[in-house]
Structure 1
Amino acid sequence: MKRLIQNLIHNPKFKQKQAIGLLCNQVSFDFISHQYLFELLSNQGTLKRLFIPEHGLFSELQDQEKFEGTSTYHSLGLHGVDIISLYQHQEKSLAPTVEKLKDLDAIVIDIQDVGCRYFTFTSTVYYLLEVLAQNKLSPSLFVLNRSNPAGDSIEGTPIDATYASFIGLEGLPNRHGMSTGELCLYFRNRLQANVEISVITDSWSSSLNPISINPSPNIPNSITPLIYSGQCLFEGTNLSEGRGTTRPFELIGSPDLTWEEVKSFTEKINKHWGEWAILRPLKFIPTFHKFMGEVCQGFQLHLINQHQYHSLLHSLIIVRAIAELKGDLLWRKGKYEFGS
């Protein structure tokens, strides 16, 4: 995706825009000019507003860490740019207000989705388009079409409105198989928004990993998106999903699991799934999050055949095996992200 931002900057329609809003984080870095997109737009005097999703502008904040103020970004020298957090303590902050959108003649969306409905950037983009549709606003949208690092495979079923939330948009399956541009076009059609969308593509064949810059703190490498649709289910349990380690979502475990229990269920599952993935028993100590500083017994998931791997099905089988051991003690109680 080496020339993606350059293709935007030199787009004839985009060059005419004078009041631009930008939704992005650190993935929006131009490897040609060695600058962030927000710097390029600020330097040419057209960036009016910068919208920042969960995890902060540089993916420096952990999951569910709300940030009201944006003073930490004042040192970036973005003079005259209004910086807005779309992840504050109040649920209404998840969508930009009409006042912050109505004076823009263009909005640029440059985020790296990872192909799963639990990933909150998906909802953030939808909420932005929803505000535009509901208020009949029609700035030009320019979407940088970053590829889906989980590929075009689809897993799961569309979530019902009863269970929909910020971490699960109604109608989206667990793993949706769409790129950022395809998601935006789908959202526009679904909302019947009267918005022109220009999808900016890059025909240059890149050797860079599609997530060479991590979009959030716990998506550290190219393996994570391939297992995220299944392994993220462990957030709903009393097991560590590997946050606080260098291998989030690959490492799963708990001080309450015994070594014998781990050996037993991993051996059984590996007999049927070894062609696609192996569960390797181990011990690990999270440095933060669940079970900080405690020794956890669990496993690391190793992908063997990523092209034919069904993450959701595999992880559901693992969850069921552990539920047979722990029963109701497995499930996390209480409210989760924004009360869902």
Structure 2
Amino acid sequence: MIKLIRTLSAKTEDEVRKQLLTELIQDGELNAQNQEKLIAKYVVPFVVNKTKYLSITNFIKTIAVGMLLFATWGIITKVVKKTWRLFASIPLYVYLFLAFTASATGLVAPKTYSKSQSDWVAITCTFTTLMVVGATFGAYNRQLEPILQKIFRLGIPRELIANFWLIVYFASIALYYKSQIIGFFAIVSLSSLTSFSLIYVPGTLFLHFKNEMLPIVVIAHSLELLIYMGLKLTNNFPEAFSVFKFGVEYYASIALGTGLLVGASPFYSHMKYTVPYALFFIILTAGFLAVHFLGGIKVPGSVLTCFCFLTILEWFGYIGFRGGMIVGCIVSAAGLFGAARLIEKHSDFILAK
């Protein structure tokens, strides 16, 4: 009996009625022929009424939930506005100080954030620290302007001063963490002293420097590569300075090749000393190629050869342009055929690693 009561209490009322009718039929109390009539009389009306009742109830509950959601959205909006006003009321220098502290901590003690990825934390914080410093100068330029004028009275352009301290900054971090990535940016900063820069936007690569700085670009990067290659060939290159190897071999070579390409180009008629630049380009490329094959330093020779090839093509085009269609076709055909033969015979050093 107790089991039957528990079973009945766990079911809905319509299910209970169906079960009672079924048990009465099984016990012989009711005729099985009247089962459908009894269900239609006692069960179906209850189910229909209950369904209508639940539908109205659910509709009312839906409206209530919608009103609660609308009220919640209003509360959240007010909280966000008040919170934003609270954060906006805090002075900007507080945020800059907190950002600088967090970034400097990651730079000086990267293991504070992650022991397993401390090197990448330091590299990331190297650049975020510069971003915070740049944001500080941008936000408080008027306040810092009198201070900067009192400190820097030498008449030196601020770009040079900034690049100098960037060299010191990147070089110190590169040597401390032995990072070639940071060392590469130290060489980039060094090239920026000569106004050379490499800018990439989606689909276009810009190699830029000031025209009046062309001699400095060529001389500075030539000396940089010659000193590097001389130290490497004589086994006097300090092992600690290997972090700058990637930047010197690639970036300095590209900068030198770009400067010589512009200086030796016959189409830049406003540039002076085109022929001396071209001769210097050929001599330097030949020397770097000798080091490429004999000394094992392959990158500078490969890069300069590519730029020298472009310069030769410009001269072929210039001679053809000045000589007419027939002369131009002959010169261009001969030049292209010779270039193709050279590439087929000596293509290994172009993709040298």
Q: Which has the higher strand share?
A: 1
Query: Which has more radius of gyration?
Result: 2
Q: Which has the higher helix share?
A: 2
Structure with larger RCO (C-alpha < 8 A, sep 6+): 1
Taking structure 1 as the reference length, the TM-score comes to 0.27
